[in-house]
């Protein structure tokens, strides 16, 4: 089997391309790790599979619109906990709200 075929099978099964899934999973994990005060962006980059802190910062900013440092500061200021969400998963319906079609 070649990688293009496996990627196609993955996309059909999960609903998003493998690269998109992996990037979203890495960014979600990075958000959780950035919530841990003792972790530096370099440590988070390494823990989430990025080859360098620079490539991590670029991917994080592209995905979130904020640098890892700015994201961390924003989260501290708003004091909202990070809720893990697997890429491609549907968000839970909020009670009392109608779903849009």
Q: What is the pTM of this model?
A: 0.71
Q: Is residue 92 part of a domain?
A: no
How do residues 23-37 score in pLDDT, each as one tens digit? 999 999 999 998 877
Residue 61 included in any domain: yes
CA trace torsion 23, 44, 77, 37 (10° rounding): 150
Q: Is residue 66 part of a domain?
A: yes
Task: Kindly report each contact of residues 15-19 with a partner whose C-beta sits within 8 Å and lies 24 or more positions away, as own/partner.
Answer: 15/88, 16/87, 16/88
Provide the residue range defining the domain that includes 63: 11-78
Q: What is the mean pLDDT of residues 10-32?
A: 92
Q: How many domains does the chain have?
A: 1
- Among 30-39, 58-67, 91-100, name the one with the lowest average pLDDT: 91-100
CATH no. for residue 71? 1.10.10.60
Please indicate, yes or no, if residue 87 is contained in any of the structural domains: no
The 10s digit of each residue's pLDDT in 69-96 is 999 888 888 865 556 666 666 555 555 5
Asked if residue 100 belongs to a domain, the reply is no
């Amino acid at each position: 089997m070649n990688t293009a075929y496996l990627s196609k099978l993955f996309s059909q099964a999960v609903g998003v391309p493998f690269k998109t899934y992996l990037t979203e999973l890495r960014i979600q994990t990075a958000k959780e790790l950035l919530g841990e005060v003792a972790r530096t962006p370099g440590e988070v980059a390494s823990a989430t599979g990025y080859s360098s802190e620079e490539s991590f910062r670029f991917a994080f900013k592209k995905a979130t619109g904020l640098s890892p440092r700015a994201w961390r500061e924003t989260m501290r200021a708003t004091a909202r906990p990070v809720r893990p969400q697997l890429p491609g998963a549907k968000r839970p319906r909020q009670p009392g709200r109608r779903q849009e079609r």
